[in-house]
Structure 1
Amino acid sequence: MEQQAIEVKGLRKVYAGSKKQESKEAIKGLDLSIPAGSIFGLLGPNGAGKSTLINILAGLVKKTEGQVVIWGFDQDVNPRQSRAAIGVMPQEINMDPFFTPRAALETQAGLYGVPKSERWTDEILELVGLSDKAEAHARGLSGGMKRRLLLAKALVHKPQILVLDEPTAGVDIELRAMLWRNVRKLNEQGMTIILTTHYLEEAEEMCDEIAIINHGKLIVRDTTAKLLGRMDRKTLVVEPRATPSAEIRLPEGVTQETRSGGRLAFSYSRAQTGPEDILLALRDAGIEIRDFATEQPGLEEVFVSLTSNQ
């Protein structure tokens, strides 16, 4: 059987209410498994329960009921081992402004009980591109460098699982590219990556599998390719050599629009027709084609379709 990095069964989290506020059930009987060695996307709208789930996995929030197994260690039976198996790069920047990156990593390693002989501080600093800032105070680092330091801190104990919570929020293109290169390198070395992000094009490009949760419930979990395949509509975009003068007799269900530069876009259902039928109709109308391309819905369209009715 495929080894699971994380297994969650019947997970519930209820935040107690007060005189001014009712209790809130943030996670409602969630069952979820994440394969070892994968890059796994955990997606959902704001308030879906993603942060609560991550904080439970990291041992920062106590669950109400259910079972959480991390790298084979039951969180209730072996809490120290389960926490040691996971590293979290948080969304919020939280660090001592007077620590240097080197001191921050050494302190973090000490908190995890990593012996000095087993620490890899210099390698981590090199990995995240902070070697030349190793002795600079954190308060003097740019926002992007602080993000790199958050990633570095999550790696000090060499976790089997790395959770990236909105890692590229507000960062520049260069840092984003560097982050994804490092993530792929860590994954190739065997580390399981869990990614939460609102940049759905990143999840589409990076993730092997994706789970979408909403209102504390699992909506869908599947491979990225199969999720994208759920959307039936595609578009054929054609650049004609000249403006069409004859009427195009399109197959049933195909819609047409004109785009900039005189390009023609034909939207169709893959279950009903194919691009070859549209191209045949264009040929019959005497339209010569300079170029053409197909477009299909991305993860954003799938995400909206699955969460909008929840």
Structure 2
Amino acid sequence: MMEERSASNNRSSKGKKEDLFHVLHKVPYGDSPYVRAKHAQLVVKDLEGAIVLFWKAINCGDKVDSALKDMAVVMKQLERSEEAIEAISSFRGLCSKQSQESLDNVLIDLYKKCGKIDEQIELLKRKLKLIYQGEAFNGKPTKTARSHGKKFQVSIKQETSRLLGNLGWAYMQKTNYMMAEVVYRKAQMIDPDCNKAYNLGLCLVKQAKFEEAQFILETVLKGNLPGSEDSKSRKRAQDLLKELRSMLPPPQLSDLLGLDDEFIKGLERLVNEWGPIRSKRLPIFEEISSFRDQLAC
């Protein structure tokens, strides 16, 4: 009886250790090609070996959705982004409808990495069109996203603003600042934040719209936008604002005094009449001068 209880305790202890191992390393259970690929990727850190096992998982139909996406991510880490793009394009047809959106998100990052701006713009437009048609998030109002190992909910509004921000940045890479400005303004109307505001300010500076850019950047520094508390974002805004102010024309008298245009025009006419070189004296001074001459005689 004691031996059976001891063996049971050992199995229980071993099971807990295995559970802890899988939780810590975020590795799934089992011994399939996909599980072994994740073990190679996350535990052994053998990325080349992981790619071989991901290929094997895709070929034998083992968690194809996850295997293709994870393999593309690993390829990007190994500077094999072109190959990753080709893999997704070739094998996404084997994946479920629910996985297509996440594959698109991986593709956007790969296009950005490879400098394929036109392809990035086309894909972003297609994703935005799906939102307008009500087909994004598989028809749901929110989706679960993951960042730095943490899960959180993303709304359609947030996703639209995020995609518009990416589209604005892509247009900036093509130096199409007019389109970038339009897109960033739309993004800020939907879900404003500090980063998109900075990029909008940069677009305006590139188009010599200095006063508008100054207003946007000052809004960032006032802390009126989400993300304004981030020190790096504030530093970028401060640096751009400093550069911008060096480009601005010197302030006019009306700007300094806060006076209306009509008053300034009248003042300028008066100053012109009182020009710095005036030889004429008012009549009263002529009379005094004549009287003084008589007294001198």
Give the structure-1-normalised TM-score: 0.26
Q: Which has a greater percent of strand?
A: 1
Q: Which has a greater percent of helix?
A: 2
Q: Could you say which structure has the greater relative contact order, defined with CA pairs below 8 angstroms and 6 or more residues apart?
A: 1
Give the structure-2-normalised TM-score: 0.27
